[in-house]
Amino acid sequence: MKPKRCLPLSRSLAMYGLLLLTPPCIHATESAADDLSLLRQTPTFALGQVGFIGHISESEQRYRRLLQSPAALELFTRLIDDGSATKEARLYAACALRKLNAAQFVQLTNELRKEGGHVSVLRTDILQRESIQDQLQNIAQHGCADVHWR
């Protein structure tokens, strides 16, 4: 056995490591667009542990990933004003805006507040229709920490 064989193997491992690091960056960009697209159509607003087995909803997972984006404020500002998005999706945008720009929360959510209506809210394993005004009031007072929503 020649010691030189170790050098090419370590180079191969290094190259393999670089290849492994590259796809997540590409995937993260594609994933953010997918997350936004899917969040726009969410039929339910749910925070914290929900459902019979107590899991974080897909919509909340998308919301959390988008919240980590450097462009989160811009994304959620557009989403709250997007009349083609579900009102439940727009409540997730309200959560983000409360967190990212609390000083302008009332102004940024004014249009949704005027539209009014009801949304589907899932708490633990109970799905209910609740008023948008009530939800916005809760978000304004408490934010969207899942402890409050249980």
For the stretch 36-46, pLDDT in tens is 999 999 999 99
Tokens of 46: 């749910």
**30 pLDDT more than 70:** no
How many other CB atoms are found less than 10 A from the CB of residue 72? 18
Two tokens, residue 32:
């953010």
Q: Where are the alpha helices (DSSP H) in the chain?
A: 6-40, 58-67, 72-80, 87-100, 105-115, 132-142, 146-149
Express each pLDDT in 112-149 by its tens digit. 999 999 999 999 999 999 999 999 999 999 999 854 55
How far lies 126's CA from each of 60, 129, 144, 145, in Å? 16, 10, 18, 18
At 66-122, the pLDDT tens digits run: 999 999 999 999 999 999 999 999 999 999 999 999 999 999 999 999 999 999 999
- Which whole number is the average pLDDT over 22-28? 44
Can you tell me the mean pLDDT for 5-16?
46
